[in-house]
Amino acid sequence: MVRVRYSVVAGYGPTILVDVRDHEALLKLRHVFAELSRRKTTAVDLLKENFVVASGLSELHLECVDDGQERTATVRRVNDGSVLSFRWARDAEGWLECAELLDAFMDSGMPGHQYLGEGDAVVEVDFMEHTEAT
């Protein structure tokens, strides 16, 4: 399972925490990134994936944009009034980089985290670091 939550973290500010609880969930998240990198899909709302549970935000749209347009991990808040929504855009090479950064967790099997996006919020992917029941 992957738990995605939004909060304001001291020292970092607005943060989208993607809390990956096990290897199966890590593989599923990596698959989403890989599909974006191969342009099998160009947009996905991560919170609608069947392995994701969310709190504190309503939508997290991942988009693959034209090469070179947004190589860096650009996270923008989408003002839609009643819902807290974000757009996280990267080009194909950027999504491949995200997928490959998750490989370190698979290779080591050890808990850890990576910062994969920034802008209006930081995206932090944690692997087996937060094991409390929520």
Which regions of the chain are under pLDDT 70? 68-73, 80, 130-134
| Spatial distance between the Cα atoms of 88 and 71, rounded to a whole number of angstroms | 11
Per-residue pLDDT of 110-122, as tens digits, reads: 999 999 989 999 9
Give domain limits for the chain.
2-127
Q: The pTM is what?
A: 0.89
Residue-level pLDDT at 128 = 92
Q: Could you say which architecture CATH assigns to the domain 2-127?
A: 2-Layer Sandwich (3.30)
Residue-level pLDDT at 134 = 43
For residue 68, CA distances in Å to 90, 94, 122 come to 9, 9, 21
Per-residue pLDDT of 63-86, as tens digits, reads: 999 876 655 668 999 976 778 899
